[in-house]
């Protein structure tokens, strides 16, 4: 195999507050023709920056301070703008994380597809159009002959991501950089995108750098894996080698994250009054019903995980319970007493008992308030504590979520990391001393190690304070680790529900089965086996559709 | 040479020059990326800019060296260039001073400040100082007709040109000191504009945030009412209302000023309403607002403790811009004779009173400068405030991540 890309001792710096600080601290990278390299690491590890640098490109406010980037004998750092123009898009292509944000909403997909080949003089417009349709077919997009003539908003997220891969392929480049192409997608959709990317990369013998934070995904895609931590390389090895025998402690800790499991709790007494009982709830946005006859109970000290894809009605159910969206039909009971359906009609006591933790800690915390104010407000509002007593309680709460009070109490949310912000969200919910907490995708925006810390914290708090959780998630690994009972939702209906042990044992409802089997595993052969099992035309969206 | 020939020569020359410039740069620097990757448009821009700079310098030298009366043609050009250089130096000195004096916080502020912003800040501070201490600074009263002094003394204070050193900026059509009236004008015009803007923000800001928070029918009623008010050209609407108001005010002329403040505040509050509502709508969808609602918080807490702190940056920036517009509206109304009433000194009225002197611009520029002094005072403050607002907008967008 011949060498395609060589990066030697690359240092990259970013500018903040008029100071250049290092982002990448001397990383070597090499890639042969037709090889797929997986870059993994937490957010802030410099994966995307390194990926872009391999194209000789930097974002604004970032510079490559030293090192060399050589692509097929061309020194990209010294190359003129003209030389780079000839390479980028033609021989090196880029697939961004959010295809929805990367396509121009004002142009049809095929118009954007043909732009590259025509500009680079590879094909004529007509040839490129025909070729685009061929690529759409290979990427298993539905209606390949027509889909290109739609606008980006008329196509689903997973399909857009594949259209973008087709666009990157349009000039048959030697190298494609995939920057977290499936992170924003549902598990069932993810499989489809992964399978089609893998096939097409293999078919045209394209080299690729696959950036992700999901180990199981990278295990399917890459021939070789490189682990990054805070701009430094931790280790690099062939995929099978790396999965079987990780050398460094950091890598081992990444591998171990998925092993957090809680002990099985004894069964709930029959006849015990559940803390929260959702009974036959039907809810609508406007005139369209989005929830149909949803019922489930949540008992004291238990976690009920509500699972489903986006659009399945998980968050809507939460909005019904909190009273933000009064259901059209049905009853919400708390401790056996029916709650007013509209939150404005609930009294302070009722509001206090049910708290919520949000997915995006960034938007859930007022950016202009200090941590002390954020947590102090419910303390003052519900408990009537002021002055020193309030501060003391806030400090207690901060200890509870494992953040040193003296250090954090006067900070603003922007001065905290993602995981710390999520902890503040938890502390704010705890400050109301509730019995029931709704956790809406609380870990899905976090890195695996951080997410695990949050899960452990929630589990500990549950044991100490006898809290009940409704845990909304699309990540089945999280369900496995934290749930006592599972509710599977699809299109606003409960498909299946029961104790976790039963849910993860066959026989399943076919939809549950599909969800379960779509969760990537760390086995590099998992995707291949799954595809053989399901048959090529029966994966992802297609499988969901077949089920009706 | 006709204008067209010159135009073709300059642009054609710059096109050719740009190409040569880039070529020469590549040769001289051994193909450094700066010249290697320079697009032709940029190279053209450099040469064209240089040509314009050359013209400016050449004309300025002409203005300094030509004998009278030819130099008069370039009088205002000379003043503009000298003023620009003077203000740049003063702004630079001000920023240097700010960097070495004050608390660490203000020093950091001055370190990151562009020159335009420090200039704007200096102008605002100077105007504030002058309007607060107008009574002390002004040599004469604003309505004082000084006995024994001629009317219409041209500015400059040069007896050879008909000036009087005791009245460096001259006197107006009934013999009042223009310098004193300018100083008092700062107090009247700027003070009234400031009060009006505050009122406009109070009305528009609170209603806008209220509409954003409550939505529903209240939002509809307020927004449609604002649409109706905005559909009428604001200056003409203000003029119309002022005419009606002057009938109400009757002989109580001071009442007219209060009516004017109210009228302009209401008209301008519609713009503030729109902004506050738009900003508010972006904030109310945030999860922290939902969390506060679910906590059971009241409307007051929601608006003043949760929404307002997040809306201050854009609202403050709008305050600066709105202040300029209000200020210009007042000056326009005064110029038209329905604004601030005589004998109060006001820049708009001063421009109107001395307007006929502008005809002297070609042969006696110093005389023509008399009405332009007040106009210049208006322009300077507007530019200054806009510079500061630009900077604040830039900062607030940078802070938002």
What chain A residue is nearest to B401 in terms of C-alpha separation?
Answer: A414
CB contact under 8 A, A363 and B36: no
Stretch (H or E) spanning A510? helix A510-518
pLDDT at position A548, please?
Answer: 45
Distance CA B176, CA B146 (A): 6
**A445: which chain B residues are within 8 Å (Cβ-Cβ)?**
none
Distance CA A103, CA A135 (A): 17
**A369: which chain B residues are within 8 Å (Cβ-Cβ)?**
309
Nearest-CA distance A431 → chain B (Å): 11
Of A81, A82, A343, the CB nearest to B294: A343
**A351: which chain B residues are within 8 Å (Cβ-Cβ)?**
294-296
Torsion angles phi and psi, residue B102, rounded to 5: 110, 180
The tokens 């076919």 sit on which residue?
A510
Q: Which residues of A375-393 are buried (b: 16+ CB within 10 A; e: fewer)?
A: bbbbbbbbeebeeeebbeb
Q: pLDDT (tens digit, 9 = 90+) per residue, A524-548?
A: 788 888 877 776 555 555 555 555 4
Given CB atoms, is A414 within the 8 Å cutoff of chain B?
yes
Provide the CB-side half-sphere exposure for A91 (13 A, CA): 16
What chain B residue is nearest to A438 in terms of C-alpha separation?
Answer: B291
Distance CA A419, CA A442 (A): 10
Distance CA B30, CA B28 (A): 6
Instruction: Enumerate residues 447 to 486 of chain A having a beta carbon within 8 A of any beta carbon in chain B.
Output: none
Q: pLDDT (tens digit, 9 = 90+) per residue, B303-339?
A: 989 999 888 888 888 888 898 888 888 888 888 888 8
Burial of A491: CB neighbours in 10 Å, binned 0-12, 13-18, 19+: middle
Given CB atoms, is A63 within the 8 Å cutoff of chain B?
no
Q: pLDDT (tens digit, 9 = 90+) per residue, B94-116?
A: 998 888 887 888 888 888 888 89
pLDDT at A383 over 60: yes
Of A548, A135, A364, nearest in space to B294 by CA? A364
Distance CA B21, CA B384 (A): 37
DSSP string, B326-338: HHHHHHHHHHHTS
Helix, strand or coil for residue A264? coil
Which CA distances in Å does A158 have to A48, A155, A181?
21, 8, 9
Residues of B within an 8 Å Cβ radius of A = 33, 36-37, 112, 286-288, 290-291, 293-297, 306, 309-310, 401
pLDDT confidence of A378, banded at 50, 70, 90? Answer: very high
Average of per-residue pLDDT values in chain A: 85
Distance CA A39, CA A45 (A): 10
Given CB atoms, is A244 within the 8 Å cutoff of chain B?
no
**A324: which chain B residues are within 8 Å (Cβ-Cβ)?**
290, 293-294
The distance from CA A181 to its chain's CA centroid, rounded to whole angstroms, is: 11
Q: Where does A354-475 have alpha helices with state H? A: 361-364, 371-383, 387-400, 405-408, 418-431, 448-465
Of B286, B288, B295, the CB nearest to A378: B295
List, in order, residues 6 or more apart from B285 with CB less than 8 Å away. none
Given CB atoms, is A432 within the 8 Å cutoff of chain B?
yes
Given CB atoms, is A16 within the 8 Å cutoff of chain B?
no
Q: Classify strands A19-32 and A3-16 as parallel, antiparallel or unpaired.
A: antiparallel
Burial of A279: CB neighbours in 10 Å, binned 0-12, 13-18, 19+: middle
List, in order, residues 6 or more apart from B328 with CB less than 8 Å away. B378, B382
* % of chain A beyond a pLDDT of 90: 17
Token pair of B301 as six digits: 């807490």
Per-residue pLDDT of chain B (401 residues; tens, 9 = 90+): 788 998 899 889 999 999 999 889 888 888 788 888 888 899 999 999 999 999 999 999 988 888 877 777 888 888 889 999 999 999 999 998 888 887 888 888 888 888 899 999 999 999 999 988 888 887 877 777 777 777 777 777 677 777 777 777 777 777 788 888 888 888 888 888 989 999 999 999 999 999 999 988 999 999 999 999 999 998 899 999 988 988 887 777 778 888 999 999 999 999 999 999 999 999 998 899 999 999 988 899 999 899 998 888 888 888 888 988 888 888 888 888 888 877 788 888 888 888 788 887 777 777 778 788 888 888 898 889 889 888 887 877 654 33
Stretch (H or E) spanning A16? strand A3-16
The answer to whether the beta carbons of residues A458 and A469 sit under 8 Å apart is: yes
Helix, strand or coil for residue A40? strand
Given CB atoms, is A119 within the 8 Å cutoff of chain B?
no
Of A356, A382, A414, the CB nearest to B291: A356
The answer to whether the beta carbons of residues B198 and B263 sit under 8 Å apart is: no
Token pair of A215 as six digits: 């180990």
Given CB atoms, is A366 within the 8 Å cutoff of chain B?
yes
Of B337, B310, B326, nearest in space to B246 by CA? B337
CB contact under 8 A, B309 and A369: yes
Of B35, B46, B19, B45, nearest in space to A81 by CA? B35
Which CA distances in Å does A223 have to A175, A195, A526?
15, 15, 14
CB contact under 8 A, A363 and B288: yes
Of B287, B295, B296, the CB nearest to A358: B287
List, in order, residues 6 or more apart from A450 with CB less than 8 Å away. A42, A417, A418, A419, A422
Strands annotated E in B22-169: none
Of A506, A482, A509, A511, nearest in space to A304 by CA? A482
Stretch (H or E) spanning A315? helix A314-322
Which CA distances in Å does A11 have to A27, A231, B34?
7, 9, 22
Q: Which residues of A305-327 are buried (b: 16+ CB within 10 A; e: fewer)?
A: bbbbbeebbbbbbbbbbbbbbeb
pLDDT confidence of A216, banded at 50, 70, 90? Answer: confident
Strands annotated E in A152-275: 175-179, 207-212, 224-229, 232-238
pLDDT at A224 over 60: yes
pLDDT at position A543, please?
Answer: 58
**B306: which chain A residues are within 8 Å (Cβ-Cβ)?**
366
Given CB atoms, is A60 within the 8 Å cutoff of chain B?
no
The more confident residue out of A389 and A530 is: A389
Best A81, A324, A368, A440 member to test B by mutation, with max B CBs in 10 Å, is: A368
Q: In the sheet that A3-16 helps form, which strands lie side by side, from edge to edge?
A: A19-32, A3-16, A62-71, A74-75
**A428: which chain B residues are within 8 Å (Cβ-Cβ)?**
291
Helices A510-518/A540-547 angle, 10° precision: 170
The distance from CA B116 to its chain's CA centroid, rounded to whole angstroms, is: 13
CB under 8 A, 24+ apart: contacts of A493-498? A493/A291, A493/A292, A493/A293, A493/A294, A493/A313, A494/A294, A494/A295, A494/A296, A497/A296
Q: How many CB atoms lie within 10 A of CB A204?
A: 15
Best B291, B304, B307, B310 member to test A by mutation, with max A CBs in 10 Å, is: B291
pLDDT at position B400, please?
Answer: 39
Of A70, A52, A56, nearest in space to A8 by CA? A70
pLDDT at position A196, please?
Answer: 83
pLDDT at position A257, please?
Answer: 61
CB contact under 8 A, B295 and A377: yes
- The interface predicted TM-score (ipTM) is 0.79
Give the dihedral of Cα atoms A302, A308, A313, A319; nearest 10 deg: 30
Q: pTM above 0.80?
A: no
Of B37, B112, B296, the CB nearest to A351: B296
Token pair of A203 as six digits: 């078919």
Burial of A44: CB neighbours in 10 Å, binned 0-12, 13-18, 19+: middle
The distance from CA A145 to its chain's CA centroid, rounded to whole angstroms, is: 31
Of A226, A66, A100, A57, nearest in space to A49 by CA? A57
The tokens 């107006």 sit on which residue?
B172
CB contact under 8 A, B287 and A364: yes
The tokens 């004529």 sit on which residue?
A124
As a whole number, mean pLDDT of residues A192-215 equals 86
pLDDT at position A258, please?
Answer: 60
Distance CA A226, CA A242 (A): 9
Give the dihedral of Cα atoms A138, A140, A146, A152; nearest 10 deg: -110
pLDDT at position B337, please?
Answer: 81
Q: pLDDT (tens digit, 9 = 90+) per residue, A481-520?
A: 888 889 999 888 898 888 887 877 777 788 888 888 888 8
Distance CA B331, CA B381 (A): 13
What chain A residue is nearest to B109 in terms of C-alpha separation?
Answer: A17
Nearest-CA distance A429 → chain B (Å): 9
| All domains of chain B in start order, with CATH | 1-64 (no CATH), 66-112 (no CATH), 178-397 (1.10.3720.10)
pLDDT at position A536, please?
Answer: 56
Which CA distances in Å does A68 have to A13, A53, A64, A78?
14, 10, 9, 9
The distance from CA A151 to its chain's CA centroid, rounded to whole angstroms, is: 25
Given CB atoms, is A287 within the 8 Å cutoff of chain B?
no
pLDDT at position A545, please?
Answer: 56
CB contact under 8 A, B287 and A80: no
Given CB atoms, is A252 within the 8 Å cutoff of chain B?
no
CB contact under 8 A, A324 and B291: no
The answer to whether the beta carbons of residues B273 and B211 sit under 8 Å apart is: yes
The tokens 């300059």 sit on which residue?
B10
Of B349, B183, B177, B325, nearest in space to B253 by CA? B349
Best A341, A359, A366 member to test B by mutation, with max B CBs in 10 Å, is: A366
Q: What is the DSSP letter of A273?
A: P
């Amino acid at each position: 195999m011949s060498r395609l890309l060589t990066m030697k001792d690359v240092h990259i710096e970013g500018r903040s507050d008029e100071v250049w600080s290092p982002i990448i601290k001397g990383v070597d990278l090499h890639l042969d023709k037709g090889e797929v390299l997986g870059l993994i690491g937490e957010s802030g590890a410099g994966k995307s920056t390194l990926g872009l640098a391999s194209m000789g490109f930097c974002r604004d406010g970032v510079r490559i301070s030293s090192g060399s980037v050589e692509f097929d004998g061309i020194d990209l750092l010294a190359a003129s703008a003209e030389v780079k123009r000839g390479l980028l898009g033609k021989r090196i292509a880029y697939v961004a994380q959010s295809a929805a944000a990367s396509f121009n909403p004002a142009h049809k997909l095929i118009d954007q597809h043909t732009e590259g080949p025509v500009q680079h003089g590879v094909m004529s417009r007509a040839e490129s159009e025909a070729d685009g349709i061929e690529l759409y077919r290979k990427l298993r997009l539905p209606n390949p002959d027509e889909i290109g003539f739609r606008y980006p908003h008329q196509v689903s997220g997973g399909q857009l991501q594949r259209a973008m891969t087709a666009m990157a392929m349009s000039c048959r480049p030697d190298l494609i950089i995939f920057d977290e192409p499936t992170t924003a997608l549902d598990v069932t959709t993810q499989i489809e995108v992964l399978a089609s990317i893998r096939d097409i990369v293999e078919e045209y013998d394209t080299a690729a750098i696959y950036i992700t934070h999901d180990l199981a995904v990278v295990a399917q895609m890459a021939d070789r894996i490189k682990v990054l931590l805070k701009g430094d390389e931790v280790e690099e090895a062939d995929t099978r080698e790396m999965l079987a025998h990780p050398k460094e402690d950091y890598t081992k800790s990444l591998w171990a994250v998925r092993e957090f499991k809680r002990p099985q709790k004894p069964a709930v007494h029959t006849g015990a009054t559940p803390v929260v009982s959702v009974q036959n709830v039907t809810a609508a946005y406007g005139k369209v019903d989005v929830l149909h006859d949803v019922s489930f109970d949540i008992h004291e000290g238990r976690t009920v995980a509500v699972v489903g894809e986006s659009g399945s009605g998980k968050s809507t159910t939460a909005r019904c319970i909190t009273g933000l969206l009064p259901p059209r039909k049905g009853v919400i009971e708390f401790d056996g007493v029916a709650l007013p359906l509209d939150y404005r009609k609930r009294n302070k006591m009722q509001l206090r008992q049910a708290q919520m933790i949000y997915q995006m800690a960034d938007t859930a915390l007022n950016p202009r308030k200090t941590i002390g104010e954020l947590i102090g407000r419910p303390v003052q509002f519900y408990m009537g504590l002021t002055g020193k007593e309030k501060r003391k309680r806030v400090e207690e709460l901060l200890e509870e979520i494992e953040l040193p009070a003296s250090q954090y109490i006067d900070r603003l949310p922007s001065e905290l990391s993602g995981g710390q912000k999520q902890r503040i969200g938890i502390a704010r919910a705890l400050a109301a001393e509730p019995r029931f907490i709704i956790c809406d995708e609380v870990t899905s925006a976090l890195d695996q190690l951080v997410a695990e810390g949050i899960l452990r914290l929630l589990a500990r708090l549950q044991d100490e304070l006898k809290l009940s959780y409704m845990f909304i998630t699309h990540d089945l690994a999280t369900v496995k680790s934290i749930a006592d009972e599972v509710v599977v939702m699809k299109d606003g209906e409960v498909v299946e529900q029961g104790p976790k042990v039963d849910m993860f044992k066959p026989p399943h409802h076919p939809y549950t089965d599909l969800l379960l089997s779509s969760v990537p595993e760390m086995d590099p052969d998992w995707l291949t086996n799954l595809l053989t099992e399901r048959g090529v035309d029966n994966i992802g969206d297609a499988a969901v559709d077949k089920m009706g | 040479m006709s204008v067209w020939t010159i135009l073709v020569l300059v642009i054609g020359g710059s096109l050719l020059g740009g190409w040569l410039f880039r070529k020469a740069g590549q040769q001289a620097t051994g193909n450094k990326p700066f010249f290697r990757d320079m697009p032709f448009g940029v190279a053209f821009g450099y040469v064209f800019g240089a040509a314009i700079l050359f013209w400016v310098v050449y004309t300025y030298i002409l203005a300094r060296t030509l004998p009278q009366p030819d130099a008069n043609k370039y009088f205002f050009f000379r003043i503009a260039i000298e003023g620009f250089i003077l203000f740049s130096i003063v702004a630079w000195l001000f920023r240097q001073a700010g960097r070495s004096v004050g608390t660490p916080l203000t020093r950091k502020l001055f370190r990151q400040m562009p020159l335009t912003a420090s200039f704007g800040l200096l102008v605002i501070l100077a105007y504030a100082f002058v309007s607060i201490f107008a009574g002390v600074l002004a040599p004469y009263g604003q309505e004082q007709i000084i006995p024994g002094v001629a009317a219409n003394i041209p500015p400059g204070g040069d007896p050879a040109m008909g000036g009087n050193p005791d009245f460096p900026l001259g006197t107006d059509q009934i013999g009042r000191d223009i310098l004193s009236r300018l100083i008092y004008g700062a107090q009247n015009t700027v003070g009234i504009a400031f009060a009006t803007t505050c009122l406009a923000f109070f009305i528009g800001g609170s209603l806008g945030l209220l509409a954003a928070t409550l939505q529903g029918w209240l939002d509809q009623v307020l927004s449609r009412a604002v649409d109706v008010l905005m559909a009428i050209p604001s200056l003409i609407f203000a003029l119309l209302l002022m005419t009606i108001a002057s009938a109400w005010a009757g002989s109580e002329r001071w009442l007219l000023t209060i009516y004017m403040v109210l009228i302009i505040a209401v008209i301008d509050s519609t713009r503030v309403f729109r902004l506050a509502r738009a900003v508010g709508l972006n904030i109310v969808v945030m999860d922290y607002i939902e969390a506060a609602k679910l906590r059971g918080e009241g409307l007051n807490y929601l608006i003043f403790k949760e929404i307002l702190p997040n809306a201050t940056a854009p609202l403050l920036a709008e305050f600066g811009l709105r202040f300029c517009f209000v200020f210009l509206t007042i000056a326009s109304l005064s110029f038209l004779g329905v604004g601030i009433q005589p004998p109060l000194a006001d820049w708009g009225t001063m421009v109107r009173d001395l307007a006929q002197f502008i005809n002297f611009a070609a042969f006696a520029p110093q005389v023509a400068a008399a009405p332009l002094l007040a106009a210049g005072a208006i322009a300077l403050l507007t530019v200054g405030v806009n510079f500061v607002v630009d900077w604040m907008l830039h900062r607030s967008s940078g802070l938002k991540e």
